[in-house]
Amino acid sequence: MTDQPDAPVAPQLYLITPVGAEPGAFGPILDEMLERFQIACIRIPGAGDEAQLGRMADTVRDLAHARDVAVVIDDHIALAQRHGLDGVHLSGGAKQVRYARKELGADAIIGAFCGTSRHDGMAAGEAGADYVSFGPAGATALGTGEAAPLDLFAWWSEMIEVPVVAEGGLDAALIGKLTPITDFFALGPEIWAEDDPVTALSALWR
């Protein structure tokens, strides 16, 4: 019997929570999403009051960890330690990867947003990042607002083993185009602006 080639692994869902959300109101929505969708990782944006971020971290952590889902937060290394999160997402690319690894340890998840820069992505991977994120994939103000081209994801997925996340301005058409060449889709702003975020996520993530 001949060995069969490995089947392509479908990209996974990486959920970004809404900026400034009230944890008490957000908890039931997240709980429903965790019940309905297979979510690989949840990211908490780092903007806002640290006390509110701490409450959000506790709410998200409790719900996510009950289902073995990882939780990271933007940039706040000390807050990630204090609230028992799984790691950080570094919005400044490769610059703090080594420091974050030293502070959080070998088992932590360290991700790096690298905009549209192949060079920054490679530097982050070499520094020990567990994943890199490129974006925006579509029309949005993430990073510099310059869209990350499809051929960046195609090159990365072919040449580099570090997992890649696509984020920013995603719609169903872009998700279809990027599915063969990315490992994760980070969805958040695309759904929180809608009246029914759960239905909006269902439309994008089938």
Render pLDDT for 173-183 as a digit per residue (tens, 0 to 9): 999 999 999 99
Average pLDDT on 79-106 reads 96
pTM for this prediction: 0.93
Going by C-alpha positions, the residue among 140, 181, 141, 189 that lies closest to residue 164 is 181
- pLDDT higher for 167 or 49? 167
Q: What is the pLDDT of residue 47?
A: 86
- Angle at 188 (CA atoms; ends 46, 112), nearest 5 degrees: 50
Q: CA 54 to CA 198: how far, in whole Å?
A: 24
Residues 162-179 have a mean pLDDT of: 96
Confidence of residue 199 (pLDDT cuts 50, 70, 90): very high
From 3.40.190.10, 3.10.129.10, 3.20.20.70, 3.30.830.10, which CATH number describes the 12-204 domain?
3.20.20.70
Q: What is the pLDDT of residue 141?
A: 67
Q: What is the pLDDT of residues 28-64, one digit of tens each?
A: 999 999 999 999 999 999 988 899 999 999 999 999 9
pLDDT grade, residue 8 (50/70/90)?
Answer: low
Position 77 confidence tier, pLDDT thresholds 50, 70, 90: very high
Q: Is the pLDDT of residue 206 over 90?
A: no
* pLDDT cut 90: percent of the chain above it: 86
pLDDT at 145 over 90: no
pLDDT value for 75: 96
Q: How large is the average pLDDT for residues 143-148?
A: 80
Length of the chain in terms of residues written:
206
User: Taking the CB of residue 130, how many other CB atoms lie within 10 A of it?
Assistant: 18
Q: Is residue 3 pLDDT above 80, yes or no?
A: no
